[in-house]
Each structure stands twice: as C-alpha cells, then as structure tokens.
Structure 1
Amino acid sequence: METLEPKTLAQQWNTTDYAINGRFVADLAKEVVALLHPQPGERILDIGCGDGALTAQLAASGAIVTGVDNSPAMLEAARARGLDVEMHSADALLYAQQFEAVFSNAALHWLSQDRHPALLGCIYRALTPGGRFIAEMGGQGNIAAIRTALSAVFEPYGIDTETAAASFYPSPAVYRRLLEQAGFTIECIELIPRPTPLSKGMEAWLRTFRNGVLQQIEADERTKVITRTVALLEPILRDHDGNWIADYVRLRFKAIKA
C-alpha cells in the first residue's frame, strides 16, 4: 500500500494525563540533575520544562531558573507552581550569554533531526563563556519495540509512524558530532538502557506520549489501533505478573561552551 503523507499534527500535552501517566519522567531524572549539580545563585535555563515538576527541584537548590516550553497548557501548570517560564520553540531561542548552565530532560528528542543544529546553536549562544550544557534525551534504540509495533499496526492505513512522530533518538557518536559542530567541547556522553515501569499500563502511555501519532487516523479507529498495538507488545514488554516495562534508552551528556 502506498504510504500517505502524515498530517501535520504535533504531539499535544494534556497536563492531567501527564501528571498521572508521565510523572516518572521527572522522578527518574536524579542522575542527570546530579550531573548538572545546580548551585545557589547561578542562572539556569531549563529547556522543555513541561509542567515544572523538575524545574521546581532545580529552583529549590537556590539557582535562578528560567523554564521554556512551547506547550501553553504545560506552561500554565508551571506558572501555577510559581516558576519563571516563557513560551519558546527550543530551536528559536533569543537569549545571548545569559545563563551559566542550560539543562534539559526528556525533551530534546521531540524535535526532528533537522532542527537540532539550530537548537544547539541557540543553546551555545545562550550560555556564558565556559557555561555547561547538561541534558538527557531518548537515544538510539529508545522505545524500539513500541515504535515497531506502532509501525506495523499503522501500515494498513498507509501511515509512516516514524515520520508522524518526528522524533530523534541519536547515537552518542551522532550527537557528539552535532555538539562539536555547534562549538561545544564534550565532557561526557553515554547511552544508557533504562527499562522503565509503566504503572498505568501501555494504553495510558500510548494515549499520553503518542497522541500525535494516534491523531493521524479518525477517532473511531484509535481504540482498535491501541488494542492491536498493546496486543503486539504484551509478550515483549509485559511480565508474568502483569507489569508493563517500556524499553527506554537514554542519551545523557555534559558539554562545555568553548
């Protein structure tokens, strides 16, 4: 069957669904926050701050934190926490030498590969000389089983789910090159398999983290698509006790503005 051009439907974030089904994203960020090691009084830019759960932790260190995101709903939730946040696309930031550190957790992979040179250029410009960029994002092999199952289920509809998702899960070598091309010196970069329990199950994860893909088809077909995807994944990602484990792989790095 001929593959159809995906509709231009970006991932949408529902703050209630995210708080219920996605809180593990902030809860599992201890190691990347430790790598950042925020200090009292230093200025930190948090890219993809979402509802501010992790941004609030950074601010509690005494750092002066500015969060950016492009989801109005998420920013409203972050402001309700009393945080300083602004609406920007990560690859169109206008800051210049304003931050000692730039931080990002579980956000950069939502930008397609072609947008990362501009993204990294913006981050480099936002940092003061010698400033550090610490991030964790999806890496090569991230949610491979989930993506493969979605691709198979959507194939009869003529939809390429990888194109529709527009996500980027690079290897350390690929992202090292991108960082170096932007002018950064790499202090460390590693790929980290991180099987992740899904306490609310796979269906809740799909509805929360793949709604942009699900919206490629009509509403009355989505339940069938989800059911088929869950059935394909059950033998792989669900244990004998009924627990779902997502096949997450993280790319974590620390880079310095030369």
Structure 2
Amino acid sequence: MMQNASRSKRLPPIESKQPDWEKKWSDAEFAPWWHGQKPHAMVIEALARLKIPKSARWLDVGCGDGQLTCALADQGMDMTGIDFAPSAIALARAHAEKTGASAQFAVADAMNGPIPGAPYDIVHDRGCLHTIRAPGVPLYARTMRAHMKDHGRLLLAHKEDGKVPDLLGFLENGLKGFFTLEQARRMRFSANGIEKAGLFCVFRAA
C-alpha cells in the first residue's frame, strides 16, 4: 500500500537548475574537479556480485560531458547517458566520437523525463542526485523508477558534504516507495588529486 501511495501522490514542482548547468557546460573554461574519473571499483564489484549480464542496458544519469559514460561503454556496457544541459550532451557526443566509445546520449531531465530508450536494467548515478535539493528527491525517484525494468538496480554514488548528518537515512527515505536498499558502503571520490568522502549504494527497484 505504501508503494502505491508513493507512486500516485502528487509531488510539488521543483525549480530546475538546468539554466545554471547549461551556462556552466557552454563555458569553454569550465573545468569541473571530477574530470577524468574512472569507473569506481565498487561499480565493477557490484557487476560481479549481482551477476549483471553484458546484455544489460545502462542509463548514466547526469552524464555531463560523457567521460564516465564512455569509460563504462569501453568495459562492454550498453550505455546511454542523459543530461538536461544540451551543451553537455554536445560535448559527450563529441567525446564518444573522438574516443570511439559506443555510447548513446540524449538531452533529458532526471526529475521530469521523458527519458528515451527506456526501460533500463541499470541506472548509474555518480554526481546527479547529490546536486538535487531534498524536495526534488522523490521526483527523481519516481522518474528513475518509471524508466527502469522491474527488479532493476540503481547504482548510486553520493558525496558527503556535511549538510546531511544521516546521509544513508536521507537516501532511503527519499527513495522510499520506489527503491529498496540492498547495500551501502563508504567510498572516496577521487580525481585530479582531489578526494571527497561519500556513499556507494545499490538500490533495487520496488
């Protein structure tokens, strides 16, 4: 009953950050600290533990310029990356063409959809949800679940910033009714000599 109520409940609209991110990605001088990140070891471990087949279809949500999406595609995953900033998707497509990665990209909003190519077996999020303010998390959860197969998995990496004392509780509560937690482990985001603490979580579609 709780799951059905959660999915049918009207959720308030949330002001989009799309203009801010479009401005960033359209700036040739924009150099985010996370550039050059590789697929985290915990993602690779989850592939083996969950016995995710190579035929599984992946959605990389909030893909930015597509570097991580392409890196996952190079490991044999069937990847589609989405971002709501058209400039980011243009960069992602250019990166895939330059590197020869067999990844697809589309402009789409993680909180509102629609997302082309659905349904997906796996949603990979390494940097999207932790930019969404708390009121927007249920919208994100509803949209992700609507574009996934039954019993699909959400592989979520979420950084800690000190603003949320109980990050795991925050994530479980925000995704409740759409996803159930299977695993949570502490992790480190690392790129360009910068490290940040976070959580790596595996959620199953409810």
On whether the aligned pair clears a TM of 0.5, the verdict is yes
Q: Which residue of 1 aligns with 2:30?
A: 17
* Greater relative CO, 1 or 2 (CA 8 Å, sep 6+): 1
Q: How many residue pairs are counted as aligned between the two chains?
A: 175
> Out of 52, 60, 69, which is 1:46 matched to?
60
Whether 2:179 is the aligned partner of 1:178: answer no
What pairs up with 1:195-210 in 2 under 5 angstroms?
199=193
More helix by share: 1
Query: Residues 35 and 177 of structure 1: is their aligned pair in 2 closer, same or farther, counting only changes over 3 Å?
Result: farther
Q: Which residue of 2 aligns with 1:93?
A: 113
Query: Residues 35 and 88 of structure 1: is their aligned pair in 2 closer, same or farther, counting only changes over 3 Å?
Result: farther
For residues 66 and 158 of structure 2, what CA distance do their matches in structure 1 show? 17
More strand by share: 2
Q: Which residue of 2 aligns with 1:115?
A: 136
> Out of 96, 101, 104, which is 1:84 matched to?
104
Whether 2:160 is the aligned partner of 1:187: answer no
Which deviations, in whole Å up to 9, do the C-alpha atoms of 1:159-199 show, x marking residues without a partner?
xxxxxxxxx896111111222x233221112344x485755
Secondary structure of 1:85 counterpart? strand
Which amino acid counterpart does residue 43 of structure 1 have in structure 2? R
Q: Which residue of 2 aligns with 1:256?
A: 204
Give the superposition deviation at 1:53: 0.9
Q: Which residue of 1 aligns with 2:82?
A: 68
Give identity over the alignment, percent. 22
Which amino acid counterpart does residue 187 of structure 1 have in structure 2? E
Structure 2 unaligned spans of 5+: 1-16, 98-102
For residues 128 and 184 of structure 1, what CA distance do their matches in structure 2 show? 12
Give the superposition deviation at 1:70: 1.5
Secondary structure of 1:17 counterpart? coil
Which amino acid counterpart does residue 140 of structure 2 have in structure 1? L
Of 47-56 and 168-177, more deviation after overlay is shown by 168-177
Give the superposition deviation at 1:112: 1.2
Query: Residues 197 and 86 of structure 1: is their aligned pair in 2 closer, same or farther, counting only changes over 3 Å?
Result: closer
Secondary structure of 1:173 counterpart? helix
Which deviations, in whole Å up to 9, do the C-alpha atoms of 1:183-230 show, x marking residues without a partner?
3221112344x485755xxxxxxxxxxxxxxxxxxxxxxxxxxxxxxx
Which amino acid counterpart does residue 30 of structure 1 have in structure 2? H
Query: Residues 36 and 57 of structure 1: is their aligned pair in 2 closer, same or farther, counting only changes over 3 Å?
Result: farther
Query: Residues 108 and 76 of structure 1: is their aligned pair in 2 closer, same or farther, counting only changes over 3 Å?
Result: same
**Preserved contact between residue 34 and residue 190 of structure 2 (Cα < 8 Å):** no
- Superposition RMSD on alpha carbons, in Å? 2.8
For residues 22 and 44 of structure 1, what CA distance do their matches in structure 2 show? 21
